[in-house]
């Protein structure tokens, strides 16, 4: 399994591509947007520069990693030799189903199809293909090159062989794979998102302010980052999508997203990527908000 195709050049996609390429795999990074591909490659190069500066890798390692990545804006061309495809598109059910239908049509019949979804049913995604036994979840954590965990989610029809292969492959990436079953939110987000949502509810109900809530969780629970700051880094739109998937999947009101979260997303306040969420990340405020409050 040497040729790996990654669908999506955003935060998760370029991180996954970086990780595979640094471990010696040939990576085909695919995105319909040429701009996204350029930005993704620039991010990978910048992250490699940081690793060189910290003497974690050499300059030669950096160039070898970049040489292992080829970019495509056409799925059919990018996946034609892939042993494994890892889809890392936006957390949107209809989009993922559409991508997997196309992948099933254009990939070699023995290609394993993985999704980096953080909440959507693997069984549902597999159902639109003619190879459900070859469909599996690989939920990487952000930032991918640094975080060790990979949730391995087997769908209802995922074969034991494919699960074993992906567990072994994850270890070759220097990751620690944990196998979980296919239920909304899996393990990581089933536990994390209600905590983030409750933190937003606490703010919404006026119990305490943003800084106060995050400080309590950091100092009292030894969390490296407060839940509201973490939500900003994940993306409030992503948090909302995951909560909606969980709410629809379980029909349990405890997963219903807080109205404040819904309003912030509707207002375009997504967190770090939009420049504002629970904190202000605009260039002139970043140092003040992050350095003073979290260092």
Residue ranges for the chain with pLDDT beneath 70: 283-295
- Residues, the chain, total? 295
For residue 1, the model assigns a pLDDT of: 84
189 is catalytic: yes
Task: Name the catalytic one among 36, 119, 139, 170.
Answer: 139
235 is in an annotated binding site: no
Q: Is 142 annotated to bind ligand?
A: yes
Known binding residue 273? Answer is yes
- Domain spans of the chain, in order of start: 3-181, 190-290
**Both tokens of residue 116?**
């980096």
205 is in an annotated binding site: no
Residue 174 assigned as binding residue:
no
65 is in an annotated binding site: no
Check whether 118 is labelled as a binding-site residue.
Answer: yes
Query: Known catalytic residue: 77?
Result: no
Residue 171 marked as a ligand binder: no
Q: What is the pLDDT of residue 283?
A: 67
Q: Which of 68, 189, 199, 241 is catalytic?
A: 189
Over the stretch 82-95, which tens digit does the pLDDT of each residue have? Answer: 999 999 999 999 99
| 151 assigned to active site | yes
Q: Which CATH architecture has domain 3-181?
A: 3-Layer(aba) Sandwich (3.40)
Over the stretch 246-288, which tens digit does the pLDDT of each residue have?
Answer: 999 999 999 999 999 999 999 999 999 999 999 999 865 544 4
Do residues 226 and 271 lie in contact, with contact meaning Cβ atoms separated by under 8 Å? no
- Is 11 annotated in a binding site? The answer is yes
Set 14, 151, 274, 276: catalytic member: 151
* Identified catalytic residue from 14, 47, 68, 118: 118
pLDDT tens figures, 40-55: 999 999 999 999 999 9
Question: Does the annotation count 34 as an active-site position?
Answer: no
CATH, range 190-290: 1.10.1040.10
> Which pLDDT belongs to residue 282?
87
């Amino acid at each position: 399994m040497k040729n790996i195709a990654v669908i999506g050049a955003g935060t998760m996609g370029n991180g996954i591509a970086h990780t595979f390429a640094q471990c010696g795999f040939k990576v085909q990074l695919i995105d319909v947007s040429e701009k996204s591909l350029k930005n993704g490659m620039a991010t990978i190069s910048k992250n490699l520069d940081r690793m060189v500066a910290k003497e974690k890798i050499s300059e030669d390692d950096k160039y070898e990693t970049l040489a292992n990545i080829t970019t495509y804006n056409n799925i059919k061309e990018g996946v034609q030799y892939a042993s494994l495809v890892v889809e890392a598109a936006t957390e949107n059910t209809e989009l993922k189903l559409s991508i997997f239908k196309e992948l099933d049509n254009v990939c070699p019949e023995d290609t394993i199809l993985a999704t980096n979804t953080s909440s959507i049913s693997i069984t549902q995604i597999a159902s639109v293909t003619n190879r459900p036994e070859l469909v599996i979840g690989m939920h990487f954590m952000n930032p991918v090159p640094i975080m060790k965990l990979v949730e391995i989610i087997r769908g209802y029809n995922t074969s034991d062989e494919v699960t074993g292969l992906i567990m072994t492959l994850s270890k070759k990436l220097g990751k620690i794979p944990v196998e979980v079953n296919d239920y909304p939110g899996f393990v990581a987000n089933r536990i994390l998102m209600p905590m983030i949502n409750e933190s937003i509810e606490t703010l919404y109900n006026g119990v305490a302010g943003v800084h106060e809530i995050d400080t309590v969780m950091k100092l009292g629970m030894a969390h490296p980052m407060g839940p509201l700051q973490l939500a900003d880094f994940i993306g409030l739109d992503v948090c909302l999508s995951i909560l909606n998937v969980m709410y629809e999947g379980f029909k349990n009101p405890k997963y219903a997203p807080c109205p404040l979260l819904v309003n912030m997303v509707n207002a375009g306040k997504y967190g770090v990527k939009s420049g504002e969420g629970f904190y202000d990340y605009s260039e002139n405020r970043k140092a003040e908000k992050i350095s003073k409050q979290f260092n």
